[in-house]
Amino acid sequence: MNFYQIMRVMKITMVLMTCFFVQVSAFTYAQRVTLEKRNSSIYLVLEEIRKQTGFSFLYNTAIFNNAKPVNIRVTNVSLDQAIKACFSGQPYTYLIKDKYVSISKLPENKTSTPDRLQQRQVKGRVTNMSGKPLSGVSVRVKGAQAATSTDANGNFSITITATGASLLFTFLGMEPQEIKVGSNDSILVKMSEASERLEEVAVSVQARRRTNTEAAVLEERKNSSIVQDAISAQLIERTASITTTQALSRVTGVTVTDDKYVAVRGLGDRSVIGQLNGVRLASSDPDKSSIPLDLVPASLLDNITVYKTVTPDKPADAASGIVELKTKSVPDSMTFELIAQTGFNSNIGVGGQYNSFWNSDMGLLGTKINHKNLTSDFLNLSTQYPKGLGDIHNLIANSGYSPAARTEVQRINGIMQSFDPVMTTKHRRAPLNQLYSATFGNSYKLFDDKHTLGVILGGNYYRRTTDIYNGDLTQYSIYQGVVTGNPDIYSYRHIPNYITPNSLYMGKYQSYKENTGVETLNYGVLAGLTYRFNPRHEISAQYVGSWGGESKATNMRGAYEYTGLTGDVYSTIYSLKQTLRDLQTFNFQGEHKFLKSSYSPRLSYNLSMSKSSQNDPDFRYVSLIDYVPVGGTYYLKPIVGTTGGANSEWAYTEHLYALSSGYVNGFGTYGTIQAEPNGRRWRNLNEDSYNHKADLSIPFPFLGQKQELKTGVNYLFRERHFTENILFLPGSNFNDLGRITLLDVEGNLNRMVSNEVIGIKVPSGGNGEGEIPVGGFLYNSKKSPNNYKGFYETRAAYAMLDLQLSKNIRLTGGVRVEKTNIQTRVDTKDVYVDPKLASVDEEGNILVTPFGDANSVYKTKYVPYYSANLTYKYRKDMNFRLAYNSTLARPELREITNVFEFDPYQMGLIVGNRDLINQKTQNLDFRWEWFPAAGEVFAISAFGKQIDNQLVKVFSLKTEGLAATYPEFPIIQFQNDKNTGRVWGLEFEAVKDLSKFWGQKDVLFFGSNLLIAQSEIKKSEERLAANRFIDRHAPLNSPLFEQAPYSINAWLNYNNKKTGTDLTTTFNMVGERLIQINLTGEPDLYTQPTPTLDFVFSQKIVSRLTFKGYAKNILNPAIKTVYANPNTGGKWYGNEYINRSYKRGSEVMLGFTYNLF
Amino acid sequence: MKSSKKIFVLLLLGLFVSCSKDKFVEEVDNRYNTGASKSSNVRIVNLGGSNQVIVNGDSITNFVIRKGETDPMAGKYPPTKYFPVDGRLGTLWNVPQDLLNKQNSADIEVTYVAYQGIGIGLQKKFKIQDKGNSVDYYTLLGDYYNVGLPEVIEVPRSVESPRNPENCKIRIINFAEKPGESQVTQEAIEDLYGPVSLTWSDGTAINNALSHVPVGKVSDYVEIPYGTYQLKVLTENQRQLPSTGSLTMDYMTSSISYIENRTAVIPTYLTYNPIANFKPGGVYTVVVYSQPFDYPNINDPEYTHNQVQNGFQIIADMDPPVNNTYARIQFVNARAEAGAVSLKVGGKSTEAVGFGSHTAYMPAIHGKLQFQAILNNTALTAVNYDVKAGDNYTVWLYSTATGKDSLVVSHNNLSGVTFGGQSGTQDATYERFKTNFYTDVRFFNFNIVFPYATFTSDNGKPFSNNGWAFNERSTEQLTPGYIPWINPYVRLVQMGGNTKIQTQKIMAYHATENTTPGSWADEVAIYTTQDLIAKPELFAVRGALPNADIGSYSIALIGKQTEDPRYKSRMMIVKHTK
């Protein structure tokens, strides 16, 4: 079944579902009924009545599940009488209105048949000993599958089958209770806090700890010794978050960029570390240290916790926070849940189109992306022909004389022509978005109930498409003119005379219409096992595997605005990208309590291994300039002639073409490096990570309280292997024949990479007899200079005390020592460098390396980091917290590696820095928290950070300014900033149960959080000079890169347990963020705040089936990036200069959840 | 029920929004306008040197004049609808159908515009008529330049392929003329007027129908095997006519000439006749006509001028089909034994030849073929070979050091194309040179007396290739039966090449594994490049021999250790272009 069929089926299903709820009858009949039926099904009787009267019946079929057969005998009675007769002795009631009869079931206790009391509903309320309601308490019928949990008010209701049943109540930190249900339908349960006796079973590893509700995570937060925020599975579901990053954007102080990169309190991904079940996640992005959170499906998680202050038992390199993902825990009873959803993005619609490209099919599991990997045959060419393509061309030219050479040349030709001959995008029909998820969990008692085995299995799959249609992209500049790197299409750069320091304007340089289609595929599996030998010893193991595929096709059509040339200069950009990522984590953990006493030492350990990879095969980028001079023009066309004769002649053309490229000035031995954005690129990153840790906690009595000493070790080893190949295009400015090739193919980019140009021009019979073959364009099989491998090792040990100084004051603190060892090595063998810049020996080694030493080593001794967290429990439900800690941030492998590479993603020359050292951050936090009732919280936090040796991304551009004849690109390098950076901010949070104002039955929750952060960094001299080139008043300081001044989240949840309705509206808005630093005189680029409004609903249809759906980004505002100075409302001297504006489209999903138990 | 209604509303909403978005995304296509128009049966063969056309009073060429070489726009001509390359009339023009009127005819006016130079009388008006059969209108220079024939001659043309698909069709038209008024004041030049014969490169006749064709006559088409030939057109007194495109010529020999020290004009005695590839299924016309050639000024040889002389040009009468079928195979018997051996390929056999001789070419259909050397109906040896269409092979039979008969295959490049790429560029599309007037020589060793043989020029000097792609290893330390394959050709003569080429010796040396050239093999007679001339008589009519003849040659060291003069070590020359 192809996806069109699937789509049709889905459409039909939608229509049928509509009909199911509204069974409209088009016929009219007399309203008298005559009927005689014996032992007939109720449906048949109703159908007969419908036929005779024309009245339609509305009912939920489930209500007739236990209906008795009907005996009826009526003659010429009214409809009312007939139905009455039909339902006599049965627990149904009905309502006749217009032409409809709606039937519902009477409440069970009103039924008159006593033998049906076998099943009954028990209601109750769970509180702690002081009468405070407990929410999230697990309620289970002993020996049966039925289970529920208490709501925010501690209320629950559960159906039991027999009068003698017992109910089991369990809750984290509370003593379990077993209550026998008598004839009483309403029970009150008081749970006591876990006592000494209970601590025996308090050994509970992550895999069993169940904190999947908001109430539970708040409870955990309340009891912790540090500042932390979290989002539970419950809220993840309510916000319809598919990926972990989507869920994270709802957490206070977290901002998410591009659905991928996470910043906590404004500090970017370097300062945030990701942990999955306590184990460090390995990065799969070659250029960022970002954690692949978007790979982990949110539906496999119990909660996400963000630790904003840390204790010494946590890694010290989380300068701004630790994002801890907890996968689904093993439930107490069997659960099995299935979710299937389908939907679409409103920019596409059902059966609509999105931008894609030929052979972009990723396959069901994304595995087809890897089919585009470079073959070993291709890569081996670089060693087989170490002197490069000249060798191959020579072989080709002589292959006619030797059958063996001919075979080899045919082989090479096959390799060269095997690349997809496509550089352009095209629109195609989009499949519907799909989401499937399944989870299963259970606990089994073994060996006479002495051992417990818990199992959790989960799987998730989603696939969706988004499309930006006709977005606007405008490049403003103070300059005008055209520089393309090709002398044919050149118009000198100048600043128009109306732009002066006294009249600040920018003119349009290039403007484009953007079409970008993205297809995303993501799936993950989770498997967890826990085994408890006895209440004091438990081990568990988890496996999480997730895979993500993405196809992105971008097309931009536009032109240079003021060229100074006679004729139009068009520009077309295509970008075709596919990415396959995976992340697999396996961990084994154990918790052991050695003695029965509550003062027993406890050992916990976690051994883990993870593998992650990111593969970007055949990323194609091309930027074609098409100049149409008025009246045409001429170019020298090469001709194959005799040596003595002319080897070119003038040819007429109406177009001149170029693939825009330029240089980076001021780098390396030669002072200049070619910057070629156009090309096909292969990038592959593999990282293996080992993280082992062990913690020993020793409780002891002191000051009449139980205190704890904790110590432990942590070892992390990451090993990375990165390979990159860049294949230049035939039309490149750096290919001597590039411009001729573009003219030969008439500017058709697909022809440019077709067999017409690529590979060997095998002489056909049209040539002379026995003519030698000629090599056309051959792709270079040598590696780019950007290949490296390296490792990243940290060792840490800590000691800390958790002291309960008095009943209300808790102090947690200690010291942690960490040691860094980062080493990388650049692969300089068989590397392709511009032949004009370096020569290569017989072996393929570069003789003159523009970049110096290939090795980078950074080692430190054990460096201490301190932390202290003071918690003052003002009231049982109110905390004041004060925390200080010092942390570090390490350079990433890529940043320290001595490579240089022009990167078309960032449009700059990325250069490593061997001299990078660790950044040191000191954090001071204050928080006031109030938990007025279950599930409610009010909190205010203040934080300040002082950053020394801050690792900053530095853009530097050496420009020739007006004299430039080619596009110039900056050098992008990480450096330790000599200036001390400071970040400070406030966080507000409020979650309130509003139902008290509304009434008792419905539960209405409101939640919101707000982050206000201020960050400043002094601009580098170069950057300031660039800014002040024209704008003499450009500010001295700049916000940190990608740092937002504020971020706000609000949600409103309506949950009606009676009708099974759950509605959530969420709102999110992030303040302007600096996203691009301009060094050519234009102001920097900032994103503008965009309000995001989502609506999520779920409706229980029958007991196990829930209808769910969401509409995201309902407002669908234009997402804008502007040239601006900070804090000006996105303006530059009163004018708005929009760089990019597009609409993401609303996303609609509908589907069902089926709970088997 | 309330919630069901809500869901219903949502569903409806979903259906409503689910209308797909229509997206109009313009395909970016920056191509030129290439609206091809259909050709009629009429072709104009513009031998009269015109460069502009007016059809039915409408100028369809650009009539743009550039002011000589100093004009910044020199060489740059804007295209027109019917002449999309440079807007000027070339030698051949298939008249598009849409230019013909309802009677399938059109009034044509061809003319010549230029800043300076000849131009008088090049304007001609004539009517063309498409009668349904292919027809050519040949235009000649005009009576001011030469006299004897009308300015425009209608000649029917065949577009039928030859009956035998291995063949091509060829005819000769003799539009030779005598010099006209404008030539009276010019220098006296060789008289090449009269009946002509189309011959192979050694002057032997191809066919009676192509011989002795009188002035003003068109011969019948004759089928000849396809191949690469240097066809020659001879006058009745065996003088070779030059061909269009010749370099500066000598007055009395009509051969390519060089100017020495700005004073002396040195004839090479090589008349420019291109080596051309006649494709299977092709139809060709060789037309002799009076045309301008380049001659040195007699008093100031540094400069040249045009003068009209009878020369020929080869014209394809239909676009030659691509040869995806045939290859040509030639057999050489280098086995120093008695007996005539033939080569059997598939079901066909060549004629049997004795030691030191080679057969004519035999076409074979491409594919994996077996070559068998047949002596007295028994196969001496065989070799399997993957034969490619369009290729040209020489199959050599020789005896190995162990006395075993063996066949090896060499691939001949008769195209005149050589590889020019020296640098490590990504794209070698234009890294080659092409000429149709060359002397290429390569060497083989089939003599087991020479475990290693080196071929040299005079006194052991290695062959120089004047900068052409050439690997010296292709002439050095050649083992018996080895086929050198990396840039194996020595180019002795090429048009526009080195003018200083003298007659060179071709010598064989006993090399060893570690020494080259080694010691001269005095038992092997020295050849010179003049030995490449198959029929010296052909050149003798003009008084002297050139340094070498044109063509592609293999020179092989053959023979064995013997007193028998028939099998003694010697060099043999195999010429591949006929």
For A957-998, how does the pLDDT look when each residue is reduced to its tens digit (9 = 90+)? 888 878 888 888 888 888 888 888 888 899 999 988 887 776
CA distance A528 to chain B (A): 37
What was the pLDDT predicted at A443? 85
Cα-based torsion angle of the residue sequence A26, A27, A32, A35 in order, rounded to the nearest 10 degrees: -90
Which of A685, A482, A703, A716 has its CA nearest to residue A608? A716
B79 interfaces chain A, CB cutoff of 8 Å: yes
Identify the weakest region by mean pLDDT among A203-207, A341-345, A1003-1007, B550-554.
A203-207
CA distance B486 to chain A (A): 6
- The mean pLDDT of A196-225, rounded to a whole number, is 61
How many other CB atoms are there within 10 angstroms of residue B514's CB atom?
8
Residue A145 pLDDT class (50, 70, 90 cuts): low
Domains and CATH numbers, chain B: 37-156 (no CATH), 158-322 (no CATH), 324-412 (2.60.40.2890), 416-577 (no CATH)
CA A772, CA A621: separation in Å to the nearest integer? 34
Q: Residue A981 carries which side chain, given as an amino acid letter?
A: G
Supply A865's token pair.
Answer: 């980091």
- In B, residues 521-560, which contact A (CB 8 Å cutoff)? none
| Residue A669 pLDDT exceeds 70 | no
- Write down the pLDDT at residue A189: 82
Q: In whole angstroms, give the CA distance from residue A741 to residue A644.
A: 24
Q: Is the pLDDT of residue A250 over 90?
A: no
Sort out which chain A residues have CB atoms less than 8 A from B29's CB and list them: 748
- B 470-499 → A contacts, CB under 8 A: 483-488, 494-497
B421 contacts A1109? CB cut-off 8 A: no
pLDDT at A1134 over 70: yes
Average pLDDT over residues A571-599: 90
Q: What is the reported pLDDT for B310?
A: 96
Is pLDDT of A52 > 60? yes
d(CA A435, CA A424): 30
Task: Give chain A positions within 8 Å (CB) of B431.
Answer: 393, 774-775
Among the partner-chain residues A387, A761, A772, the one whose CB lies closest to the CB of B419 is A772
Q: What is the pLDDT of residue B536?
A: 92
Query: How much is the CA Rg of chain A, to the nearest whole Å?
Result: 34
> B21–A763: do the CB atoms touch at under 8 Å?
no
Torsion angle, CA of A391/A396/A397/A399, rounded to 10 degrees?
A: 120
Per-residue pLDDT tens over the stretch A882-912: 999 999 988 888 889 888 888 876 778 888 8
B531 three-class SS: helix
Percent over 70 (pLDDT), chain A: 88
How confident is the model over B311-352, as pLDDT tens digits? 999 999 988 888 889 999 999 999 999 999 999 998 899 999
pLDDT in tens, B121-141: 688 999 999 999 999 999 999
Task: Report whether pLDDT(B508) > 50.
Answer: yes
Average pLDDT over residues A281-291: 69
Tokens 């339609």 correspond to A56
Chain A residue numbers touching B76 (CB-CB < 8 A):
634, 650, 652
In this complex, which of B23, B277, B389 lies closest to A427 when CB atoms are compared? B23
Mean pLDDT within A615-623: 94
> Are the beta carbons of A557 and B26 separated by less than 8 Å?
yes
CA–CA gap between residue A416 and residue A727 (Å, rounded): 11
Q: Where are the beta strands (DSSP E) in A61-146?
A: 70-78, 92-97, 100-105, 120-128, 138-141
Reduce the DSSP state of residue A16 to 3 states and report it. helix
Closest residue in B to A761 (Cα) is B429
Out of A225-229, A721-725, B391-395, least confident range = A225-229
pLDDT greater than 50 at residue A1004: yes
CA distance A165 to A1081: 78
Confidence of residue A422 (pLDDT cuts 50, 70, 90): very high
User: Over 60: is that where the pLDDT of A848 sits?
Assistant: no
Grade residue A1 by pLDDT with cuts at 50, 70 and 90.
very low
Residue among B371, B416, B388 nearest B323 (CA): B388
**Nearest Cβ partner for B427 among A570, A771, A776:** A776
Instruction: Judge contact between A539 and A590, C-beta under 8 A.
Output: yes
Average pLDDT taken over every residue of chain A: 83
Query: Average of pLDDT values for A929-953?
Result: 88
DSSP annotation of A116 reads: G
Contact assignment for A730 to B426 by CB distance below 8 Å: yes
Q: Which residues contact A336 (CB under 8 A, 6 or more apart)?
A: A438, A439, A440, A441, A1155, A1156, A1157
Closest residue on chain A to B226 (Cα): A769
- Strand B167-175 and strand B283-296: the pairing is parallel
Q: Identify which of A785, A686, A777 has the alpha carbon closest to the alpha carbon of residue A735.
A: A777
| Whole-number pLDDT of residue A768 | 84
pLDDT confidence bin for A568, thresholds 50/70/90: very high
A107-121, B37-51, B534-548: range with lowest mean pLDDT: A107-121
Q: Where are the alpha helices (DSSP H) in A713-781?
A: 738-744, 749-752
- Please judge whether A570 and B30 are an interchain contact, meaning their C-beta atoms are less than 8 angstroms apart: yes
pLDDT, position A207:
46
Six token digits for residue B575? 């010429």
A164 has a pLDDT exceeding 80: no
Q: Residue A780: its chain B contacts at CB < 8 A?
A: 426
pLDDT in tens, A1083-1110: 999 999 999 898 988 888 888 888 988 8
SS3 for A181-237 is CCCCCEEEEEECECCHHHHCCCCCCCCCCCCCCHHHHHHHHHHCCCCEEEEEHHHHH
pLDDT, tens digit (0-9, with 9 covering 90-100), for A385-394 = 887 888 899 8
pLDDT in tens, B349-367: 999 999 999 999 999 999 9
Of A136-140, A225-229, A794-798, B6-10, least confident by mean pLDDT is B6-10
Smallest CA–CA distance, residue A508 to chain B, in Å, is 22
d(CA A666, CA B337): 74
Report the pLDDT averaged over residues A907-924.
89
Burial (Cβ within 10 Å: 0-12, 13-18, ≥19) of residue B454: buried
pLDDT band for position B36 (50/70/90)?
low
Give the span between the Cα atoms of A226 and A800, in whole angstroms: 13
Q: What is the mean pLDDT of chain B?
A: 88
Q: H-type helices in A846-890, by residue range?
A: none
For the record, the structure tokens of A1052 come out as 């409103």
* Cβ–Cβ below 8 Å for B3 and A396: no
Task: Please tell me whether the peptide bond between A1091 and the residue prior to it is cis, using omega within 30 degrees of 0.
Answer: no
* DSSP letters spanning B172-218: EEEE--EE-GGGTTSPP-----S-EEEE-TTS-BS-GGGSSBPTT-B
Return the higher-pLDDT residue of A299 and A1008. Answer: A1008
Determine what percent of chain A falls in helix, strand and coil, rounding each to the nearest 5: 15, 50, 35
pLDDT in tens, A365-385: 999 999 999 999 999 998 898
Does the beta carbon of B416 lie under 8 angstroms from any beta carbon of chain A? yes
- The answer to which of A497-511, A854-868, B83-97, B333-347 has the lowest mean pLDDT is A497-511
Q: Looking at the complex, does the CB of residue A149 fall below 8 Å from at least one CB of chain B?
A: no
Interface of B with A in 420-449 (CB under 8 A): 420-435
Mean local confidence (pLDDT), B266-285: 92
Give the pLDDT of residue A27.
36
Q: pLDDT band at A644, cuts 50/70/90?
A: low
Interface pTM, i.e. ipTM:
0.90
Q: Quote the percentage of chain B above a pLDDT of 70.
A: 90
B417 with A643: Cβ contact below 8 A: no
Beta strand pairing status for B392-399 and B326-333?
Answer: parallel
List all residues of chain B from 82 to 121 with a beta carbon under 8 Å from chain A. Answer: 85-87
- Number of cross-chain residue pairs from A and B with Cβ atoms under 8 Å apart: 274
Task: Please give the Cα distance from B257 to B246 (Å, whole number).
Answer: 10
Residue-level pLDDT at A62 = 64
Confidence label for A667 from pLDDT (cuts 50, 70 and 90): confident
- Cβ-contact B224, B170 below 8 angstroms: yes
Cα A927 from Cα A878, distance rounded (Å): 11
Sequence-ordered list of residues with C-beta below 8 angstroms from that of A505, at least 6 positions apart, any chain: A478, A498, A499, A1133, A1135
* Model pLDDT, residue A15: 46
**Local confidence band at B259 (pLDDT 50, 70, 90 cut-offs):** confident
Portion 164-223 of B in contact with A at CB < 8 A: none
Most confident range, picked from A97-101, A121-125, A400-404, A862-866: A862-866
Interface test with A, best of B13, B21, B88, B415 (most A CBs within 10 A): B21
To the nearest 5 percent, what fractions of chain B are helix, strand and coil?
5, 40, 55
CB of B418 within 8 Å of a chain A CB? The answer is yes
The residue among A1097, A1099, A1094 whose CA lies nearest residue A1111 is A1094
- d(CA A1108, CA A343) in angstroms, rounded, equals 11
Q: What percent of chain A has pLDDT over 90?
A: 31
* Token pair listed for A517: 């289609």
Say if strands A662-665 and A186-191 run parallel, antiparallel, or are unpaired: unpaired
pLDDT of residue A670: 59
Helices (H), A865-1012: 893-896, 995-998
Subunit contact B320:A15, Cβ cutoff 8 A? no
Residue A7 has pLDDT above 80, yes or no: no
Rounded Cα–Cα distance for residues A918 and A654 (Å): 57
B-chain CB neighbours of A427 within 8 Å are 23, 25
Distance from CA of B149 to the nearest CA of A (A): 34
Which of the pair, A1051 or A795, is modelled with greater confidence?
A795
The strand pairing partners of A370, in sequence order, are none
